[in-house]
A and B are shown apart, each in its own frame.
Chain A
């Protein structure tokens, strides 16, 4: 008797919370990534062949959009991956709550790992060849990672200094710390003066205490001046007298608190 064959889109899972092994590759991924499956559709087109009451399932085509979205991570596990478009850089949310950089290659390897895990866990009536070879090829994986760059794209506001998202490296880190520095180290005090040079040296010490790289003075000045204005309504003046009685820049009616006490 000739086998009866039909093309199926079957990502239905009996219960996504059950421990039951899914019956097809599409169901395996849909169970693991239900949100992505709901938005981007069935993970695979599968060929369902039935012969003498035996069923054989072969995934024959992969839904690249679904797999690109899968790279965004499983929210139930607290995972998140984004592509920061302005910097052309991937970031993933690590278990310490910080976003850390990662690469195209690492994301590709994760996809390969997921496809292999799926192949290993599925029952014998599912053909594993495409899962292990075709869908894990460099060409296919590259296509999915590139597709993910648009699906998981984040703009410059994602890591803005006032955003809840934090990362281990990035230009906004200094501004975040500068805000903390202003709150903890500076206070408004009539008659007192903080020179730009003194503020800069204190900020370098502050960064050192946080095990951060030092910041160039030319970057510090345009960053700190608007923040101090915002916090204390004090503008940077260029007519102050420094310790050697030479004209210098700084803030009048501002005081720097004892830094060593704060550090400890």
Chain B
């Protein structure tokens, strides 16, 4: 598979899992004046890999 397309696929899966995670956490958090910063593509990929390996 083309490495570029592979990365896009991984990124899409990671974004989907991240959105899912944030959806759940949003129910539990209190409203803050400083919302959590939007993660970069790299941060999301790293987060996803960490979850998969644990």
What is A's interface to B at a CB cutoff of 8 Å?
A: 73-79, 81, 92, 94-96, 100, 102, 106-107, 109-110, 113
B3 at the A interface (CB under 8 A)? no
B54 at the A interface (CB under 8 A)? yes
- Do residues A77 and B28 form an inter-chain contact, with CB atoms below 8 A? no
- Do residues A92 and B20 form an inter-chain contact, with CB atoms below 8 A? no
B5 at the A interface (CB under 8 A)? no
Closest to B24 in A: A79
- Do residues A106 and B21 form an inter-chain contact, with CB atoms below 8 A? no
Pick 6 A–B contacts, CB within 8 A, sort by A: A74-B24, A77-B20, A77-B21, A79-B25, A94-B29, A95-B36
Interface of B is mostly: helix
Q: How far is the CB of B26 from chain A (nearest CB, A)?
A: 9
Number of interface residues, chain B, beta carbon within 8 A: 16
Q: Which of B21, B29, B36, B47 makes the CB contact (< 8 A) with A79?
A: B21
What is B's interface to A at a CB cutoff of 8 Å?
A: 17, 20-25, 27-30, 36, 47, 50-51, 54
- Do residues A110 and B27 form an inter-chain contact, with CB atoms below 8 A? yes
Q: Which of A75, A78, A100, A109 makes the CB contact (< 8 A) with B27?
A: A109
A86 to B17, CA, bound (A): 34
A76 to B36, CA, bound (A): 21
- Do residues A76 and B28 form an inter-chain contact, with CB atoms below 8 A? no
- Do residues B17 and A77 form an inter-chain contact, with CB atoms below 8 A? yes
What are the 10 tightest A-B residue pairs by CB atom distance, in nearest-first order? Answer: A110-B27, A77-B21, A92-B28, A102-B28, A106-B28, A109-B27, A78-B51, A113-B27, A106-B27, A79-B24
